[in-house]
Copies of this chain bind each other. A is one copy, B any other.
């Protein structure tokens, strides 16, 4: 997480200020529940809210205390007491630090995920808009980087839409994975805390109760969470790679938007580099790599060890901030992508119609040519095209052996692009729910 690849709304979730605010809310809600249960005075719970609610916690002061007591939660509680006064002794009763830390981390992840889901929704909107814009913009489809048969640029975007729609569902699943609250005490037995406190805090924070915790919330949830982020990052890499390919000098079917004032291109107008999508490729690698330590965090020893903590202090902010930035950047790329239908057509024409050779072959067979003869006829004309001697359709029309089976109209029909795009509406209806 470096400023260059950080957006403020996401990074705000991970500041000390936000963390302490969430800690306060957990403690204050817990106090409410305890007051309701008669464990602490109702007056105390009220005071906690009244004094702590409007307080601005002083991060430097908390750090100073932590250096002394070597414990972050105790440092916070000590600082909180400076606001709340004597009633502060009713804060945190029977709770353990992890109750606060783990629940807070999940609150932060939930908020981060809400931003990520909104990011994906913005991306989906951009993709959809461009997909409809280019629903019928024909371009060559490529397998293995080699020209295959025509598709439309809209179809390419429909594929991306479907993929990011899955990404959205996965993020919603990931959110559910980590939207839990545990306030269950030192080893998860509720020995010193009533389970109803947990239930109250969970409800107030919009979380589910963790059915069974140890001292900590089980880390398989977080492993799943960061794995989902890694898969979403991989989808970003896919679409970024597509743009990078399309922007190659020899292909140039699309280009990242290049702002008017952007330096460096004046003397070399072709030197517009797909730097945003290359950057996204790298960011995807970063986010992907963070799934691994998250998985290694699962096997904590017994009721917990603290090896996960240093990992999460890093990947919690890093993975969400980086993915947020990447999704937003990709949205910008798609939104402003410069598309060159004329170059798509030029590339499509590059092989002189050879992408229709299979259709001609099939037509010859259907009109009675033996499979061997059909092959021979197609091949001898195809090879002339391949050697750059002319257009496939012209050669076919001029070949008397072909003419025995196929009329001009027959041949022309085999070069009709509509053949390839006839189901675009069907596919759009599947993907967008409407054609």
Contacts and interface: CB of A to CB of B under 8 A. Distances in A.
Interface of A: 1-2, 4-5, 69-71, 74, 140-151, 155, 158-159, 162-163, 166-167, 170, 173, 177, 185-192, 195, 209, 211-215, 218, 220-221, 223-224, 227-228, 230-231, 234-235, 237-238, 240-242, 244-245, 247-251, 262-264, 266-275, 278-279, 281-283, 285-286, 288-293, 295-311, 313-315, 318, 347, 350-351, 354-355, 357-359, 361-362, 375, 378-379, 382-383, 385-386, 419-424, 426-427, 430-431
Contact of A286 (B74, B281, B310): B310
B290 A305 contact: no
Pick the most buried of A162, A234, A241: most chain B CB atoms within 10 A of its CB: A234
A141 B303 contact: yes
Given A145-B301, A241-B301, A279-B306, 10 more contacts: A69-B263, A141-B215, A142-B249, A189-B423, A220-B231, A249-B347, A269-B385, A283-B310, A286-B293, A289-B290
A358 B268 contact: yes
Nearest to A346: B250
A273 B146 contact: yes
Contact of A296 (B173, B296, B309, B430): B296
B314 A278 contact: no
B306 A271 contact: no
A386 B269 contact: yes
A81 B242 CA distance: 39
* Number of copies of this protein chain within its complex: 4
Given A282-B307, A307-B279, A350 B299 contact: no
A379 B151 CA distance: 36
A244 to B, nearest CB: 6
A249 B141 contact: no
Given A146-B271, A423-B189, A212 B303 contact: no
Nearest to A159: B212
Contacts of A286: 293, 310-311, 314-315
A434 to B, nearest CB: 13
Contacts of A283: 310
A177 B211 CA distance: 26
A288 B223 CA distance: 11
B308 A282 contact: yes
Nearest to A420: B191
Nearest 8 pairs of A and B residues by beta carbon:
A141-B187, A282-B310, A144-B273, A285-B293, A234-B298, A281-B307, A142-B302, A250-B250
A343 to B, nearest CB: 10
A291 to B, nearest CB: 7
Given A4-B313, A347-B250, A358 B267 contact: yes
Nearest to A423: B190
A213 B10 CA distance: 33
A288 B279 contact: no
A359 to B, nearest CB: 8
B231 A146 contact: no
A189 B430 CA distance: 13
A379 B267 contact: yes
B231 A223 contact: yes
A307 B314 CA distance: 22
A285 B288 CA distance: 14
Contacts of A159: 188, 212-214, 218
Nearest to A94: B362
